[in-house]
């Protein structure tokens, strides 16, 4: 029953996104609709709504509106990321910058962000606005850190976690904290919700990075090993560099130079044989386990504990996003 109810809520989030975009140019509406379709299946709104229901005190319309705002904030970051990465496709579709150039794409990204702030302002709640602005600032820092660390073959595990915290986990954290806040949670509980989102976001990004290394273009909707092509050193690479830096860097740079399938296969085989893929998988499981511990700390002090099951379902979806073929290699 809760799953059906949550799906109904997500349908309302979709409607709210359409309302926010209603007066936009048709180009904006069409592209935002396409770019927001992802394997996440509106994961961020699901987290926000689940936490709002867990604490039980939210205004229904506020939870829907804030969910839509968080999803559109994510969309704006994707548009800008594609410009920076000079990406030609996303989710199997042409990117805005590849179709209309960087100028149009920058303006559309900024325009979507303006719509987010305008819609959130309807809540007349400074705390919500401050939460979203703080997250937007951190997301910007994440882009800067990612660019500064391109082809940094000395990147540490801790630094990698710091980058993906800013790049991805802060938005997960925002959704959970915002949901808890809307539900009437105490400050301590809001912080725990934010920590839950952070941990889940770290796991989600590591899974996404692994998919880029191990899957084909048809599965991911983007070129094979696009992260490595663009100089992003993800966790499996970091681990492999710690084990055998000369060989790993040699294979990585060869692939960056040639983009040849045989060189992609060589670096992939190296990562599997050296245990780097498994290391990343273990990190995902560890972050999910830590998130579960945080959720259990909250379970005895919430208004609607039955909604905690939805968090477990979200955790399961993050783990299941990794194909079995990766886990078994």
Residue 328 predicted with pLDDT over 50:
no
pLDDT of residue 262: 95
pLDDT band at 222 (very low <50, low <70, confident <90, very high): low
Average pLDDT over residues 157-171: 98
pLDDT of residue 84: 85
Chain segment 252-280, per-residue pLDDT in tens: 999 999 999 999 999 999 999 999 999 99
pLDDT of residue 58: 83
Measured over the CA atoms of residue 132, residue 133, residue 139 and residue 142, the dihedral's sign is: negative
pLDDT band at 29 (very low <50, low <70, confident <90, very high): confident
pLDDT band at 88 (very low <50, low <70, confident <90, very high): confident
What percentage of the chain reaches a pLDDT higher than 90? 73
Facing residues of 89 across strands?
A: 94
Chain segment 228-256, per-residue pLDDT in tens: 999 999 999 999 999 999 999 999 999 99
Mean pLDDT of the chain: 90
**Structural fold of domain 2-328:** Farnesyl Diphosphate Synthase (1.10.600)
Select from 170, 171, 189 the least CA-distant residue to 181.
189
Average pLDDT over residues 106-119: 92
The per-residue DSSP string of 52-112 comes to HHHH----HHHHHHHHHHHHHHHHHHHHHHHHHHT-SEETTEE-HHHHH-HHHHHHHHHHH
């Amino acid at each position: 029953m809760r799953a059906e109810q949550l799906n109904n809520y997500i349908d309302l989030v979709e409607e709210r996104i359409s309302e926010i975009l209603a007066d936009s140019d048709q180009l904006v509406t069409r592209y935002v609709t396409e770019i927001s379709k992802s394997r996440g299946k509106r994961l961020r709104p699901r987290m926000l709504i689940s936490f709002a229901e867990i604490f039980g005190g939210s205004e229904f319309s506020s939870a829907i509106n804030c969910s839509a705002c968080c999803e559109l904030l994510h969309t704006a970051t994707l548009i800008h990321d594609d410009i920076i990465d000079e990406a030609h496709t996303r989710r199997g579709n042409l990117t805005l910058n590849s179709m209309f150039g960087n100028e149009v794409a920058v303006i559309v990204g900024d325009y979507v962000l303006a719509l987010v702030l305008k819609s959130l302002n309807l809540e007349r709640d400074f705390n919500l606005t401050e939460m979203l602005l703080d997250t937007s600032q951190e997301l910007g820092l994440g882009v800067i850190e990612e660019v500064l660390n391109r082809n940094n073959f000395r990147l540490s595990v801790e630094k990698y976690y710091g980058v993906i915290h800013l790049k991805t986990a802060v938005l997960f954290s925002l959704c959970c904290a915002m949901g808890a806040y809307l539900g009437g949670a105490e400050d301590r509980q809001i912080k725990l919700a934010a920590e839950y989102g952070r941990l889940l976001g770290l796991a989600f990004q590591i899974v996404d990075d692994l998919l880029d290394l191990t899957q084909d273009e048809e599965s991911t909707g983007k070129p094979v090993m696009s992260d490595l092509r663009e100089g992003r050193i993800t966790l499996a690479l970091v681990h492999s560099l710690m084990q055998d830096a000369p060989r790993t860097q040699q294979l990585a740079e060869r692939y960056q130079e040639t983009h040849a399938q045989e060189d992609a296969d060589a670096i992939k085989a190296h990562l599997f044989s050296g245990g780097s893929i498994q290391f990343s998988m273990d990190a995902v499981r560890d972050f999910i386990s830590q998130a579960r511990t945080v959720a259990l700390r909250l379970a005895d002090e919430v208004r609607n504990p039955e909604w905690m099951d939805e968090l477990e379902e979200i955790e399961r979806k993050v783990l299941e996003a990794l194909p079995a073929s990766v886990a078994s290699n």
